[in-house]
Amino acid sequence: MLFVIMPWKAESGKEYLLCLLDTNAISEILKNTKLEGKNFFERYPPTSIAPCFTIYNLIELRRNQIVYEKFLIVFSIYPIFLLKTQKMIVDAEIENYDRKEEVSSLYNAFSYFGKSESYNLESFIDKYFQDPDAKEMEKTWRANEADTLAVWLAGKQNFSPNENYPNTKDAERYMEEAAVQTIINQNMEWAGSIIKSGQILDIDRLPSIKMMLYSLYYRLYDPSWKPMPSEVTDISIIAATPYVDIFITEKFQANIMDKIKSKVKNLDVLEVKRIRDLR
């Protein structure tokens, strides 16, 4: 497996900052081309910034054929990267648990000049969703979102916060209580081998899981939070944030990122932007 350190360096030696877009950001760029769209490409030019998306973005975008077609048209013009899934990133973190290499979040790169199926955006996506597993994942994603959200809400009672509003002390305690079981759920065999060897499972070495747990805490225990199945996808997307340079997202998630910048590896150097910053 190839491991790279941000920013990404092309074969030519030129470096590009990786900019992850959540689905709302992508939609605003596509729907409002004269404002958010224009400002995005002016402020984050493809000569130095590589826009990034995930499979989870694609599943959401493909629910709206008009927006999805615009995505293919607009982003086929610029170099753009597909990031690994949440599971792939966790697997890479586990593989590097005792190493010092940086984990790469990159899965595939696309270019306007990419004529093969592997490097042409539309061709790659068409072929990807012809795969039976990918087709099934897309088909059942809405149901999976709803099921996962139900599990989150049912598990809310397993933690008793000291305050009735999200705060740092409760967040740290939630992390301590939830970390081990979450790691076991991600990879039971590997976690079991670590525990049997007498080691303590270190969540700090698994920043994508830590990122998701913090994001879940700041949702579940916020009285103003309105649970929606799409939040499951949002949390799946942010698993990659420790491995990019810029993240453009909606206000609620950006506020969470601000609170945990010093808590998760690489977040202290991550540039977090709200969609409104493109206006």
Give 52's strand partners: 20, 81
How do residues 100-149 score in pLDDT, each as one tens digit? Answer: 777 889 999 887 665 666 788 999 999 999 999 999 999 999 999 999 99
Query: CA 173, 178, 180, 182 torsion: positive or negative?
Result: negative
Model confidence at 64: pLDDT above 90: yes
Average pLDDT over residues 238-266: 95
Provide the pLDDT for residue 212: 96
CA dihedral defined by 228, 233, 234, 240, rounded to 10 degrees? 160
| Assigned token pair, 15 | 């470096």
Model confidence at 5: pLDDT above 60: no
Provide the pLDDT for residue 1: 30
8 Å CB contact between 74 and 30: yes
Average pLDDT over residues 169-189: 95
| HEC string for 122-160 | HHHHHHHCCCHHHHHHHHHHHHHHHHHHHHHHHHHHHCC
Total residues belonging to the chain: 279
Find, among 10, 15, 23, the residue nearest to 49 by Cα: 15
Q: What percent of the chain has a predicted confidence (pLDDT) above 70?
A: 93
Average pLDDT, the chain: 91
Model confidence at 14: pLDDT above 90: no
List alpha helices for 197-250, DSSP H.
207-220, 230-237
